[in-house]
């Protein structure tokens, strides 16, 4: 079975970008439309086509027993157009500083406890040059969905701008004064955990921020999955693999 990408993922309960509808002229990849440009009059960012990320490489590397190569992926890349953005501040839409929980339909449109659309607009208003995100659903070998993660790479004009960006400030407020580990694979990293399972990593790689966020869905996780995925959150080793992989494929 081939991986499900973009709109085809609706068979797994709406794994699509909330709030956007593809126009008839939208380009297609493997017969599936890519995500359209920002709706409304202010087009300060626009989608671009880009290579299909090699998800099989990531899945092969994850230390998750019984994980299948079958998966669902909704991904897109946006770039700044050079036009001014309407200044937007994304308000908190979910309980902050804890794993996001709830229906799959609602969580699909969230990033850092905020509306994905609103936070995207805010980041481009702050000077982001490129925004890439992938919503990945992992499946067990018997066909059950066992985890949902969003991986996001946000590129800024300079490393200093990335270090002072909104995603860093958001996660720093959750850390309550804890210091990031500046020596993790040579990168500055912030990690939030639920018990011994990390659910959010924000890592600075030069002028880019790599964010990997797990969610606890009320809808689709397999209650018979292995202990490492029963909550929908993966062990630290798997999170590290996701961060490293997404940093590499979006560089």
Query: Residues 20-64: pLDDT tens digits?
Result: 333 333 333 333 334 444 444 458 999 999 998 999 999 999 998
Predicted confidence at residue 228, as pLDDT, reads: 52
> What per-residue confidence (pLDDT) applies to 191?
92
Residue 33 exposure: Cα atoms within 13 Å on the Cβ side: 13
Write the burial class of residue 135 (CB in 10 Å: 0-12 exposed, 13-18 middle, 19+ buried): buried
- Round to whole Å and give the CA distance between 81 and 137: 31
Residues 3, 59: contact at Cβ < 8 Å?
Answer: no
Intervals of the chain under pLDDT 70: 1-42, 177-186, 219-230
pTM to 2 decimal places: 0.82
Instruction: Say what the pLDDT of residue 54 is.
Output: 96
Q: Is 160 exposed, middle or buried (0-12, 13-18, 19+ CB in 10 A)?
A: exposed
Return the pLDDT at 6. 44
Measured distance CA(93)–CA(96) in Å, rounded: 8
pLDDT attached to residue 229:
56
- Beta-strand pair 100-102/208-217: parallel
Determine the Cα–Cα distance for residues 85 and 88; give it in Å rounded to an integer.
8
Structural element, H or E, at residue 156: none
């Amino acid at each position: 079975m081939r991986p499900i990408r973009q709109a085809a993922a609706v068979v797994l309960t709406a794994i699509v970008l909330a709030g956007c509808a593809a126009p008839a002229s939208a380009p297609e990849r493997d017969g599936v439309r890519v995500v359209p440009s920002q709706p409304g009059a202010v087009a300060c960012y626009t989608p671009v086509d880009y290579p299909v990320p090699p998800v099989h490489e990531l899945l092969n590397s994850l230390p998750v027993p019984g994980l299948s190569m079958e998966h669902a992926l909704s991904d897109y890349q946006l770039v700044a157009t050079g036009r001014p953005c309407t200044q937007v501040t994304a308000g908190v839409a979910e309980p902050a500083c804890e794993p996001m929980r709830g229906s799959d339909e609602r969580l699909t449109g969230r990033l850092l406890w905020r509306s994905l659309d609103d936070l995207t607009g805010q980041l481009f208003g702050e000077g982001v040059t490129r925004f890439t995100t992938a919503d990945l659903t992992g499946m067990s070998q018997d066909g059950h969905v066992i985890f949902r993660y969003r991986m996001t790479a946000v590129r800024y004009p300079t490393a200093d701008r990335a270090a002072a960006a909104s995603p860093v400030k958001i996660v720093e407020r959750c850390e309550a004064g804890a210091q990031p580990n500046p020596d993790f694979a040579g990168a500055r990293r912030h990690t939030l955990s639920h018990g011994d399972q990390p659910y959010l990593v924000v890592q600075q790689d030069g002028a880019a921020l790599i964010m990997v966020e797990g969610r606890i869905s009320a809808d689709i996780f397999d209650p018979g999955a292995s202990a490492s995925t029963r909550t929908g959150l993966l062990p630290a080793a798997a999170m590290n693999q996701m961060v490293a992989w997404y940093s590499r494929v979006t560089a």
